[in-house]
Amino acid sequence: MVAETSLIPDPQALFDDAPCGLIVTREDGSILRANKTFCTWIGWENPDLQGRRFQDLLTMGGRIFHQTHWSPLIQMQGSVSEVKLDLVRRDKALIPMLLNGVRQQHESGVVYQLALFCTTDRDKYERELLKARQLAEGLLANKVAAETALSQAQMELNEAYEKAQRRALFAEQMVAIVSHDLKNPLTAIKMAAEMLGRKMPDGREKLMLSHIGSSTDRAHRMIADLLDFASARVGRGISVSPSVIDLHSVVAQSVAELRVAFPDVAIEHQSVGWGDVELDADRMQQIIGNLVANSAAYGDQKRPITVISTLDANRASISVHNFGPAIAESARAKLFEPMTRGSDQDDHVRSVGLGLFIVREIVTAHAGDISVHSTADDGTTFKVNFPRREQ
């Protein structure tokens, strides 16, 4: 117990070395006593402070506040706490402080016991905290403004997209309507040309009628592609009607018809495997026709186009190969997109660029896949695969 008591400084040391400024004043503010901590902060020696009034150490604003607020308050309720004020150092610098005080009644009179805490570091921290808060509020305001602008832009983009969708849908519907309505007059033209060709002897006029028939067939193919394109684009997809077919026979028939349509190109057919498969025969002919037309347009017409139909236990496939320039790697990513052509050159065998798109949509409708392999040495091969189911 004696040892613990020896650790406690004497009252004078406790007063002088306290971690805050301690002052004892009369009721009129005259300083009776000040500790070393306060003297160090204020820059005055203790003898210099004795007899001076505490309020004389304040700024003008502090003196007014002392007279009008905290002095009446401590007289009335006996204490004040956390009063913020600035003291003037001896060198005229200002020291922000926080004051706590109590009023004590003694036999010899009334004294004020004041404790002052220097708030320089605290004020600095509060200023930094305020700056950080203002910065955060500014960033939040910017974020809200950016989100508002983004939301507005998104609304405008959605409106523009909806308008574009409506216009595209209208345009595709018009294409479908016009394409459908063109089939009847084209059919009439073809029938009239065939009838005149049968009655007319061989010669220039009959050759012209043959060209009319070929052009009409080509127009029919283009219209069919446009109708399929419009159907796919409006979300209905290309319709298929699978049935059990002899794939090799269907491909052979299509190749025979294409030899007539492309008399300047040698078209060969090879078959591998045997059996039947469940596919849409008309759509298979459409695939072969589009792939052969593409090969005739971009391949080497002096070398043959080879069509191979293959049947094995798990799948059926059709491949169309041609020699000629390789398809650029950069062009393959968009090769099956509509309105895409492998060349800007014009030719009577080229169309509006829907052939490969139609082929892909037909293959997709059959749950199949399509691939392309193209090199300068080996040429270009388009291959479509279909799953082969048990019959």
How far is 120 from 117, CA to CA, in rounded Å?
9
Residue 178 token pair: 């016009």
The whole-model pTM stands at: 0.49
How far is 310 from 320, CA to CA, in rounded Å?
12
- Domain 126-233 indexed as CATH 1.10.287: yes
In the chain, the N- to C-terminal Cα span, in Å, equals 105
Cite the residue boundaries of each domain of the chain with CATH code 3.30.450.20: 2-118
Overall fold of domain 243-290+298-387: Heat Shock Protein 90 (3.30.565)
Residues in the chain: 391
Cite the residue boundaries of each domain of the chain with CATH code 1.10.287: 126-233
How far is 244 from 13, CA to CA, in rounded Å?
111
Residues 277/386, Cβ–Cβ less than 8 Å: yes
**Residues near 161 by Cβ (< 8 Å), separated by ≥ 6?**
none
Buried b / exposed e along 236-260 (16+ C-beta atoms within 10 A): eebebeeeebbbbebbebbbeebee
**Residues near 143 by Cβ (< 8 Å), separated by ≥ 6?**
none
Burial class (CB in 10 A: 0-12, 13-18, 19+), 204: exposed
* Superfamily per CATH, domain 2-118: PAS domain (3.30.450.20)
- Taking only the tens of pLDDT, the chain with its 391 residues reads 455 556 666 788 888 889 999 999 999 999 999 999 999 999 999 888 988 999 999 999 999 999 999 889 999 999 999 999 999 999 999 999 999 999 999 888 899 999 999 988 877 888 888 888 898 898 899 999 999 999 999 999 999 888 877 776 666 666 666 665 666 677 777 777 777 777 766 777 767 777 677 677 767 767 776 666 666 665 566 778 889 999 999 999 989 988 887 888 999 999 999 888 999 998 898 899 889 988 998 899 899 999 999 999 889 999 999 998 988 888 887 888 875 555 444 444 444 567 888 889 889 989 999 999 999 889 999 999 999 875 5
Buried b / exposed e along 96-116 (16+ C-beta atoms within 10 A): bbbbebebeeeeeeebbebbb
Cite the residue boundaries of each domain of the chain with CATH code 3.30.565.10: 243-290+298-387
- Neighbouring C-beta atoms of residue 153, cutoff 10 Å: 10
